[in-house]
């Protein structure tokens, strides 16, 4: 495959299929990191907010930004390559759309965290909102950073300049993201509405992951409105089962008694 444009860079020499696979892996990883970051961000300002959480948040954020930078470079160079075959281009555009959506989510999360850490400073832990959470997010951060577990020993006292330093770093990172987003829009012209996803469409497509999570809200069971016929049927089914079991037990004990006394 001839080198089209010197400015495009080394990625052109790599085979397009490999580039696609690489890009897909990176985008998947970014989606995972963004999800974990959002999870951690939702704990900021709450009672589980601590230096450790902020540290984990920072590390996740850095990982997300490095991933985003490399994906941006990778996808931009491939999408500006005019000799890309049509099928490959469609796949690349799909990745592009997923990438820009994850950037959108990440940007909102960064802004929100920046804003909340404005209101809630760790120096004043009594003001943190008591949200009812108890555990930390270390496992989530470990998942984001793809490490088996996080061994952290954060210093118990808060250094004076750390928070302001972190705020300025965050501000820089947010503006860096803004520039990256603008650059993306300028350099690559992808018409988002023309992109066709090839996953399952619609509400019917997504299958249930596992039922263990459903039990969590079902335990609450204070939804006065019935979402549909299934829940009361399930409850009545359980009670009927219990009744049957009780009847069988009673019958068994009675028969045992009869056998013993006759």
Q: Smaller CB distance to other proteins: residue 10 or 86?
A: 86
Output the smallest distance, CB 87 to other proteins, in A.
16
Distance CA 52, CA 80 (A): 42
CB 129 within 8 A of CB 60: no
The Cα–Cα gap between 31 and 222 comes to 34
E strand or H helix that includes residue 243: helix 230-261
Among residues 13 and 204, whose Cβ is nearest to other proteins? 204
> Minimum distance from CB of 50 to other proteins (Å)?
15
Please say which residue, 31 or 51, places its beta carbon nearer to other proteins: 31
Taking the mean position of all CA atoms in its chain, how far away is CA 89?
27
Rounded distance between C-alpha atoms, residue 22 and residue 92, angstroms: 11
Is the Cβ of residue 122 or residue 133 nearer to other proteins in the bound state? Answer: 133
Tallying the residues shown for the chain, one arrives at: 262
**Min. distance of Cβ 12 from other proteins in angstroms?**
26
Angle at 32 between CA 30 and CA 37, to 5 degrees: 90
- 117 touches 43 (CB < 8 A): no
Nearest distance from C-beta of residue 258 to other proteins, angstroms: 38
Nearer to other proteins, 108 or 246 (CB): 108
Tokens of 132: 């009812």
Instruction: Kindly state the smallest distance separating residue 226's Cβ from other proteins, in Å.
Output: 10
Could you give the CA distance from residue 179 to residue 129 in angstroms, rounded to a whole number? 34
Q: Shortest gap between Cβ of 151 and other proteins (angstroms)?
A: 17
Q: Describe the crossing of helices 162-187 and 86-119 by its angle, rounded to 10 degrees.
A: 150
Q: Which is nearer to other proteins, 9 or 89 (CB)?
A: 89
Nearest to 235 by CA among 226, 3, 255, 142: 226
């Amino acid at each position: 495959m001839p080198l089209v444009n010197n400015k495009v860079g080394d990625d052109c020499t790599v085979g397009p299929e490999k580039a696609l696979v690489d890009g897909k892996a990176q985008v998947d990883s970014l989606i995972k990191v963004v999800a974990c970051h959002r999870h951690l961000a939702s704990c900021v300002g709450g009672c589980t907010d601590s230096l450790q959480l902020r540290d984990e948040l920072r590390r996740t954020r850095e990982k997300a930004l490095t991933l985003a930078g490399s994906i941006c470079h990778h996808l931009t160079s491939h999408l500006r390559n005019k000799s890309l075959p049509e099928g490959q281009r469609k796949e690349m555009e799909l990745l592009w759309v997923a990438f820009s959506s994850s950037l959108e989510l990440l940007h909102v999360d960064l802004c929100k965290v920046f804003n909340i850490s404005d209101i809630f400073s760790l120096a004043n832990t009594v003001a943190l909102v008591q949200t009812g959470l108890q555990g930390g997010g270390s496992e989530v951060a470990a998942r984001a950073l793809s490490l088996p577990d996080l061994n952290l020993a954060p210093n118990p006292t808060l250094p004076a300049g750390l928070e302001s330093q972190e705020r300025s770093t965050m501000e820089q990172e947010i503006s860096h993201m803004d520039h990256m987003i603008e650059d993306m829009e300028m350099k690559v012209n992808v018409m988002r509405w023309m992109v066709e996803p090839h996953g399952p469409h619609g509400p019917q497509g997504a299958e249930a992951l596992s039922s263990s999570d459903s039990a969590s809200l079902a335990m609450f069971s204070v939804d006065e409105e019935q979402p549909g016929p299934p829940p009361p049927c399930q409850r009545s089914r359980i009670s009927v089962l219990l009744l049957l079991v009780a009847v069988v037990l009673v019958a068994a004990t009675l028969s045992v008694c009869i056998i013993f006394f006759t």
